Chains A and B, each alone.
Chain A
Amino acid sequence: MRRARPLLGTFVEISAVGLAELALVRAVDAAFAAVARVHRLMSFRDPDSDLSRLNRQAASRPVVVDPWTASVLRRARSLFDATDGLFDCAVGHEAMQRGSLPSQGLGHVRGGTFAAVELMSDDRVRFSANIALDFGGIAKGFAVDRAIGVLRAHGVREALVNAGGDMRVIGETAQPVYIRCPGEDRQIVQAGLLRNAAIATSAAVLTVCKGAAEGTLRSIQPPDSAYSVIAPTCLLADALTKVLVQIGRADVGYFARFGVQAFITSAAANTEKVA
């Protein structure tokens, strides 16, 4: 069974096999419901989402969030720490300045980092500075992982969840994966086969670089390259592509410590890979 719905600002496709049809329908519906829940909680554009409430209010008072939002924030915190700030969800200000996110109701927001996020008990969250978070680098991966969790709970053993290119596969069947390079709409690159793992890909042009001066990075990173990470979970893959874009090298030592593989694909079909 294979279904697709417009969610998370992209198309989310779920494929699952191995159960009777009615059971598969239930499993896939429930998996989509999990993705829809992530969409509701973590959309920057929806004024009623947890994320929007945080961005509007958390700088002035603690905001209670859904356990799923709290979970994403905890993972974002550990990745922020583990990457020396290269993975940073506090990019709302930069994204609004660039015009890629709406700034309505967020006039108070200034630049800052995730260090200003304080995770309190009982899923309460407070910001110590006027930052705005954007979950663009983590929510899709989290949603894919939740969907896989739901499918597993329904007894599905072979499945693929693909949220606009951030995808995770379970089961023994190796799934072919192709990379599309930014600016090269007509060409995709056959990259490899994925089994029981996740992959995510980012483009430099869509990533806010916080680790160094943006101008410097722009001149180093070819804008026509795709930056991919293969990881045990889609959240980790999604998040670490943002780090890969900034580092600009699929450096073995750096990514091995996260238990992931990183590689860069250019439109000319040259792939720098880490075995």
Chain B
Amino acid sequence: MKASHWIWLPVAAISTPAYATTYFSVEQAQRTIFPGATFTGTGQSNTWRTSNGGYFVVERVVGKHEYITVAIGINPNGTVKQIEIMDYRESYGYEVRDASWRSQFVGKSASSPLQLGADIKNISGATLSSKHVTDGVKRVLQNLKVRG
């Protein structure tokens, strides 16, 4: 392992929320999961019928410390076509106390890879509760089944 693969930084503990990411808008998620389809509202604000007979559902999931928005594509036969995380954020306050931490953002433009609040990722050892997402998907499938 060459040393150049890892560069130590001065150790600084910081307060979260270090994690808030948006992957998709509703329209982007629709286009990604059902390319070329059109979407019709169903009367429920988070559910669309697709032109091929499937469903597109946006579900908000509350985990232990996080809010996650999930897009769920459902095939005409009721099976899950695709699941995409639309956004993820932790539910703590947005203060960042440590000055040395803040300084690393100086000089970064909006288009640079690192942005405070939007792009602080790569947390090793994070235990994120994906079970809540799985439960959310099950809930959505159950609701659609009930409504037929």
A interface residue numbers (CB < 8 A to B): 2-6, 9-11, 13, 25, 160, 162, 164-167, 173-182, 185-197, 199-203, 226, 228, 230-232, 259-261, 265, 267-271, 273, 275
Q: CA–CA, A3 to B23, complex, Å?
A: 6
A178 in contact with B83 (CB, 8 Å): no
With most chain B CB atoms within 10 A of its CB, the pick from A4, A166, A199 is A4
Q: With A2-B21, A10-B128, A180-B125 in contact, is A230–B5 under 8 Å at CB? A: yes
B85 in contact with A5 (CB, 8 Å): yes
A164 in contact with B6 (CB, 8 Å): no
A186 in contact with B16 (CB, 8 Å): yes
Q: With A178-B120, A194-B5 in contact, is A9–B125 under 8 Å at CB? A: no
Indicate if B110 sits at the interface (CB-CB under 8 A): no
Indicate if B94 sits at the interface (CB-CB under 8 A): no
- Ranked nearest first, the 4 interchain pairs of A and B with the lowest CB-CB distance are A201-B125, A197-B5, A269-B13, A4-B85
Binary flags per residue of B128-141, CB closer than 8 Å to A gives 1, else 0:
10110110000000
Other-chain contact of A177, B1, B12, B122 (Cβ < 8 Å): B122
With most chain A CB atoms within 10 A of its CB, the pick from B113, B114, B126 is B126
Q: CA–CA, A267 to B14, complex, Å?
A: 11
B 40-87 contacts with A by CB, 8 A: 65, 70, 83-85
Could you say which residues of chain B place their CB within 8 Å of the CB of A181? 125
A193 in contact with B124 (CB, 8 Å): no
Binary flags per residue of B9-43, CB closer than 8 Å to A gives 1, else 0:
10111111010010100000000100000000000
Q: With A4-B85, A5-B84, A167-B124 in contact, is A190–B6 under 8 Å at CB? A: no
Indicate if B146 sits at the interface (CB-CB under 8 A): no
Q: With A177-B124, A180-B125, A197-B6 in contact, is A10–B130 under 8 Å at CB? A: yes
Other-chain contact of A228, B7, B84, B125, B131 (Cβ < 8 Å): B125
Q: With A5-B84, A185-B65, A190-B14 in contact, is A178–B124 under 8 Å at CB? A: yes
B122 in contact with A160 (CB, 8 Å): yes
Q: CA–CA, A166 to B104, complex, Å?
A: 24
User: In chain B, what residue has the closest Cβ to A260?
Assistant: B1
CB distance from B137 to the nearest CB of A (A): 8
Could you say which residues of chain B place their CB within 8 Å of the CB of A269? 11-13
